[in-house]
């Protein structure tokens, strides 16, 4: 299998999950810049809030990669969906069982102990139906839609495909900016729009203008500047805050993450356009070995029962000051990511893969 996988995209998958973990770290931190109301209308607070963009860049990378490799795939999606469902179920149900066994032990803080409820059981054992993970629920729907998008794109001309993507992009992102109350932005539509962009890139990348490295820097810097500026003015100007949520350009309920999608798309096109270089064999094999475990990292640290406990222990570490805070936070995120990746790799190779092979005959 490794011979057919491009290490560049697998490395991008690893980076994407790192960005997602980093985003969740900063979204959960208890730093004063995040919790002190007196600092909420400062440029530093706007910059901190804008870090949520990293997560949406990571999400966009995942969908663009999937679209790139499924752009011409018309096979039945059910086997792929079953494999994904098994992985999601094992993590969701497994964490529930562990939580139920440890709920009254000192390992789980008293203020984070929840009573076992029917909704908790249903969410844990039917994670897709009850939306235990927003991304996974939407991604499963996207897997079902993917072959039909391929069939549709096969029948459309390049111009027609571009018009369709423009309509989806407008409906998903731009319309939300013009009227934040509209309800056309959904998780499924969001991922579907990015998938269409990725499929279009696969089909017509050779006709795109060449993306240079300075294009990337300008896109990233300008994107963050616009996001930070808009976040600052929305939080500090009453007439704007009445109309927009401060997170409109970043992530979360009510957001239109148009800037992260643009940044991720430009980076992805640059990667696609570059010729594949031969990586050192040891490094390439390591990347190809580790990358399949990235989904597990998400399923562990974003589990609704586990994530509050995880961040409770992480943020027992006292808040540092100045630039030291940035250095320490990056160091903690790297250690956390490495630990989650190791655990996920073990579960994938010693539990999920053997079980999947038994349930799905190849």
Percent of the chain with pLDDT over 90: 76
pTM of the model: 0.94
In this predicted structure, the answer to whether residue 2 has a pLDDT above a threshold of 60 is no
CB-CB contact of 87 with 221 (8 Å): no
Collect contacts of 87-90 with beta carbons under 8 A, ≥24 apart: 87/295, 87/296, 87/299, 87/348, 87/352, 87/356, 88/127, 88/128, 88/132, 88/133, 88/136, 88/299, 89/125, 89/127, 90/347, 90/351, 90/352, 90/355
Closest by CA to 56, choosing from 16, 13, 9, is 16
Mean pLDDT of 185-207: 95
Q: Determine the average pLDDT of the residues in 73-101.
A: 95
CA dihedral of residues 194, 195, 198, 204 (deg, nearest 10): -110
pLDDT above 60 for 3: no
If you average pLDDT over every residue of the chain, what do you get?
A: 92
Task: Give the tokens for residue 214.
Answer: 């300075």
- Asked if pLDDT for residue 1 goes beyond 70, the answer is no
Decide: 177 and 256 in contact? Cβ < 8 Å: yes
What is the rounded average pLDDT of the residues 114-129? 95
Range of 100-109, 131-140, 275-284, 353-362 with top mean pLDDT = 131-140
């Amino acid at each position: 299998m490794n011979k057919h996988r491009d290490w560049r995209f697998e490395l991008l998958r690893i980076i994407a999950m790192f960005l997602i973990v980093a985003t969740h770290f900063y979204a959960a931190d208890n730093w004063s810049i995040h919790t002190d109301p007196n600092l909420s209308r400062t440029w530093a607070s706007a910059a901190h809030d804008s870090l949520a963009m990293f997560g949406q860049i990571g999400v966009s990378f995942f969908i663009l990669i999937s679209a790139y490799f499924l752009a011409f795939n018309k096979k039945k999606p059910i086997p792929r969906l079953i494999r994904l469902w098994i992985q999601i179920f094992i993590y969701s149900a497994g964490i529930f069982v562990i939580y139920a066994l440890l709920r009254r032990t000192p390992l789980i803080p008293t203020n984070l102990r929840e009573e076992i409820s029917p909704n908790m059981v249903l969410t844990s054992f039917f994670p897709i139906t009850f939306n235990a993970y927003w991304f996974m629920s939407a991604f499963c729907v996207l897997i079902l839609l993917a072959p039909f998008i391929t069939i549709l794109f096969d029948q459309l001309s390049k111009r027609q495909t571009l018009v369709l993507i423009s309509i989806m992009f407008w409906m998903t992102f731009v319309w939300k900016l013009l009227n934040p109350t509209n309800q056309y932005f959904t998780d499924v539509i969001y991922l579907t729009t990015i998938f269409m962009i990725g499929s279009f890139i696969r089909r017509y990348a050779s006709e795109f203008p060449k993306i240079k490295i300075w294009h990337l820097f300008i896109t990233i810097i300008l994107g963050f500047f616009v996001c930070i500026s808009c976040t600052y003015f929305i939080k500090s100007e009453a007439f704007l805050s009445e109309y927009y949520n401060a997170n409109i350009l970043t992530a979360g309920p009510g957001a239109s993450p148009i800037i992260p999608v643009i940044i991720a798309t430009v980076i992805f096109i640059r990667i696609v356009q570059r010729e594949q270089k031969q990586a050192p064999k040891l490094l390439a094999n390591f990347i190809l070995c580790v990358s399949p475990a990235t989904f597990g990292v998400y399923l562990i640290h974003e589990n609704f029962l586990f994530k509050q406990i995880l961040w409770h222990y992480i943020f027992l570490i006292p808040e540092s000051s100045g630039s030291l805070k940035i250095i320490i936070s990056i160091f903690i995120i790297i250690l956390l990511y490495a630990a989650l990746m190791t655990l996920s790799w073990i579960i994938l190779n010693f539990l999920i893969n053997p079980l999947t092979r038994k349930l799905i005959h190849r």
